[in-house]
């Protein structure tokens, strides 16, 4: 990877945002006109606990460079306990990703409430900058699939 | 060993003749000296097929799933790991303990059939990988027992192989796993033999769901490997059957043991397959669990 390629690289970051807090936090960041780079795609989920680790693996396979799973602070889950399960699950998966050789800077879990627009801005900005610095993800990628997809869109 | 074998045959005969069992699951001699395969016996006249030697590696508990909707009364012979597998299946409500009789057999460690296949006859064959690290050679629960308990040769979990991978840098780790999983032919033998992989509908049989593709490439194979390991995380009873049956010699236990190690470190030491009630690490939580996501 040449330095030039890394400099021009615009990472794709996928955010799984819990409907009840982080999604509202992202919305607040927007209505407050807090700026952050446009590399983020937000995918709304009913609870952070909805995020099956397969979703994260699938994202990396299909060419995403960084994944953020974000939900309510422990104790604040709309379904009372969902995020406690999220926490156990992703403590393990974060370590497994590292074990498989995926740079741990590419994958984060964070608690971001509906009132934390600035935190949303800060977390995604930091993540985009970090992933920009380490370059595109080439681990776990299913390049065959990505090419097929590109052909389909060009039609 | 032959004393145990004689006792096995006698017990099987008695159970079948008295009608306490309609089927007995044990091992018979296979085509090779290093090959002892499962056998299903329905008639007292056939009990002499039963054998007990150092290659009775295969776990028989998973076969009980096939009997959940039958009226059979099934007796199985079970080593230490097999009784943990039995508990796993009862815990997961996949077998009916009322329809089964577990005959515990303390085990001194089975030999590695894969190595035996490549070893000249008469030469020493090492123990199977999982047996080397076994902490429960004696049945953890059974209805009756044959033979006497042995002294376990391991008392603590050994994670040195996992630590060796953890010590590698990210690129080396990725290269290692990519190479290993490029060999996977997706035969699903590891899943089929696993007592923790007991789902009625496995996601890997539902390729139309969009979750998993049947493509056999390093990416999809790793997705399979991690997903299966995660599905058994907190439930894997460390029998090593998955790795033992893998035709491509993929070090599957390195994945399972990584989860076991992290579960022990993060949520407290956990021994799967010792009980049949209560929660497992991933279907429970503690408010005081480690917090890294603030
Ligand atoms: S994952 Fe492997 S070691 Fe664990 S229970 Fe299943 S077959 Fe046994
Ligand atoms: S791979 Fe997962 S879904 Fe399939 S049988 Fe194993 S635990 Fe069940
Ligand atoms: S047994 Fe080995 S080759 Fe077969 S699916 Fe499992 S890991 Fe792949
Ligand atoms: S509802 Fe937000 S984490 Fe459960």
Residues of chain A contacting residue B263, judged by C-beta atoms under 8 Å apart: 92
pLDDT at A149: 46
pLDDT at B227: 96
Choice between B187 and A150, residue whose per-residue pLDDT is larger: B187
Report residue B1's pLDDT band, with 50, 70 and 90 as the boundaries. low
Question: Higher-confidence residue: B123 or B168?
Answer: B168
**Nearest-Cα residue of chain A relative to residue B169:** A101
pLDDT higher than 80, residue A154: no
Handedness of CA A142, A100, A105, A74 (dihedral sign): positive
Q: What is the ipTM of this complex?
A: 0.92
CB of A141 within 8 Å of a chain B CB? The answer is: yes
Rg value, chain B, Cα: 20
Is B190 within 8 Å of B228 (Cβ atoms)?
yes
Q: Which ligand is nearest to the CA of B260?
A: 1
- The residue behind tokens 């032919």 is B185
**What is the spatial distance between Cα B213 and Cα B209, in angstroms, rounded to a whole number?**
9
DSSP B48-107: GG----TT--S--GGGGGGGTTS---EEEEE-HHHHHHHHHHHHTT-S-GGGEEEEE---
**Residues of chain B contacting residue A54, judged by C-beta atoms under 8 Å apart:** 211, 223, 227
| pTM to 2 decimal places | 0.93
Residue A5 has pLDDT above 60, yes or no: no
Task: Give the model's pLDDT for residue B215.
Answer: 85
Mean pLDDT in residue range B227-241: 97
- Backbone dihedral angles phi then psi of residue A100, each to the nearest 5 degrees: -85, -5
Q: What is the per-residue pLDDT for A147? A: 52
Three-state secondary structure call for residue A107: strand
Q: Are B42 and B16 in contact (CB under 8 A)?
A: yes
As a whole number, mean pLDDT of residues B159-186 equals: 96
The per-residue pLDDT for range A30-70, each reduced to its tens digit, is: 999 999 999 999 999 999 999 999 999 999 999 999 999 99
Q: Which residue of B has its CA nearest to A71?
A: B293
Domains and CATH numbers, chain A: 2-154 (3.40.50)
| CA B165 – CA B170 distance, rounded (Å) | 10
pLDDT at B8 over 60: yes
Residue B44 beta carbon below 6 angstroms from any ligand 2 atom? no
d(CA B67, CA B69): 6
pLDDT, position A143: 76
**What is the band of A4 on the pLDDT scale with cuts at 50, 70, 90?**
very low
Chain A, window 45-104: residues with a beta carbon less than 8 angstroms from a chain B beta carbon: 53-54, 57-58, 61, 74-75, 81, 84-85, 87-96, 98-103
B31-36 CB contacts, 8 Å cutoff, 24+ apart: B32/B117, B33/B116, B33/B121, B34/B111, B34/B113, B34/B116, B34/B117, B34/B125, B35/B113
pLDDT digits (tens, 9 = 90+) for B51-88: 999 999 999 999 999 999 899 999 999 999 999 999 99
- Residue pLDDT, tens place only, A93-148: 999 999 999 998 999 999 999 999 999 999 999 999 999 999 999 888 887 565 54
- If you average pLDDT over residues B119-123, what whole number do you get? 88
Q: What is the pLDDT of residue A1?
A: 46
Q: Does B179 touch chain A (CB under 8 A)?
A: no
Residue A3 has pLDDT above 70, yes or no: no
Question: Using the beta-carbon criterion (under 8 Å), do B217 and A142 form an inter-chain contact?
Answer: yes
Average pLDDT estimate for B175-201: 95
Alpha helices in chain A (DSSP H): 3-7, 22-31, 53-61, 82-99, 117-134, 143-154
Distance from CA of A38 to the nearest CA of B (A): 23
Closest among A90, A64, A91, A78 to A24, alpha carbons compared:
A78
pLDDT given for residue A150 in this prediction = 47
HSE, side-chain direction, 13 A CA sphere, residue A104 = 13
Give the per-residue pLDDT at B234: 96
Q: What span, in angstroms and rounded, lies between the C-alpha atoms of B202 and B224? A: 12
Closest residue in chain B to residue A74, using alpha carbons only: B287
User: Averaged over B161-168, what is the pLDDT?
Assistant: 98
Residue A23: φ, ψ to 5°: -65, -40
Reply yes or no on whether the pLDDT at B166 is more than 60: yes
Distances (CA, A) of A60 to A135, B11, B268: 14, 55, 30
| pLDDT at residue A153, rounded to an integer | 45
Share above pLDDT 90 across residues of chain B, in percent, rounded to a whole number = 92
Q: Which of A54, A84, A103 sits opposite B211 (nearest CB)?
A: A54
């Amino acid at each position: 990877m040449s330095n030039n390629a890394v400099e021009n690289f615009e990472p794709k970051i996928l955010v799984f945002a819990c409907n009840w807090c982080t999604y509202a936090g992202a919305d607040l960041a927007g209505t407050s006109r807090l700026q952050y780079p446009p590399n983020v795609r937000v995918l709304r989920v009913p609870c952070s606990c909805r995020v099956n680790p397969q979703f994260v693996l699938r994202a990396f396979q299909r060419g995403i460079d960084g994944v953020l799973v974000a939900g309510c602070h422990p104790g604040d889950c709309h379904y009372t306990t969902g995020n406690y399960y999220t926490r156990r699950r992703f403590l393990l998966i974060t370590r497994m990703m590292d074990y498989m050789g995926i740079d741990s800077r590419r994958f984060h879990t964070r608690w971001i409430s509906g009132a934390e627009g600035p935190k949303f801005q800060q977390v995604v900005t930091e993540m985009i900058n970090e992933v920009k610095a380490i370059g595109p993800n080439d681990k776990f990628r299913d390049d065959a699939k990505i090419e097929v997809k590109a052909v389909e869109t060009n039609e | 060993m032959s004393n145990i074998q004689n006792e096995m045959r006698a017990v099987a005969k008695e159970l079948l003749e008295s009608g306490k069992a309609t089927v007995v699951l044990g091992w018979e001699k296979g085509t090779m000296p290093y090959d002892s395969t499962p056998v299903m016996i329905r008639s007292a006249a056939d009990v002499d097929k039963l054998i007990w030697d150092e290659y009775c590696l295969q776990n028989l508990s998973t076969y009980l799933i096939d009997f959940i909707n039958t009226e059979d009364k099934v007796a199985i012979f079970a080593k230490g790991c097999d009784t943990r597998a039995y508990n796993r299946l009862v815990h997961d409500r996949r077998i009916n303990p009322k329809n089964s009789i577990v005959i515990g057999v303390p085990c001194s460690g089975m030999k590695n059939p894969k190595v035996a296949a490549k070893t000249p006859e008469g030469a020493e064959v090492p123990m199977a990988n999982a047996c080397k690290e076994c902490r429960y050679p004696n049945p953890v629960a059974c209805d009756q027992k044959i033979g006497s308990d042995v002294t376990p040769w391991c008392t603590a979990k050994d994670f040195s192989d996992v630590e060796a991978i953890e010590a590698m840098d990210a690129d080396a780790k990725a290269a290692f796993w990519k190479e290993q999983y490029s060999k996977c032919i997706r035969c699903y033998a590891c899943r089929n033999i696993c007592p923790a992989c007991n789902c009625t509908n496995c996601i890997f049989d539902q390729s139309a769901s969009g979750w998993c593709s049947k493509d056999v490439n390093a990416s999809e194979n790793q997705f399979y490997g991690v997903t299966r390991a995660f599905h058994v995380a907190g439930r894997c009873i460390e029998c090593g059957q998955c790795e033992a049956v893998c035709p491509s010699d993929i070090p599957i236990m390195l994945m399972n043991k990584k989860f076991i190690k992290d579960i022990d470190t993060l949520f407290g030491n956990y021994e799967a397959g010792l009980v049949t009630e209560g929660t497992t690490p991933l279907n429970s939580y503690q408010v005081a669990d480690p917090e890294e996501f603030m």
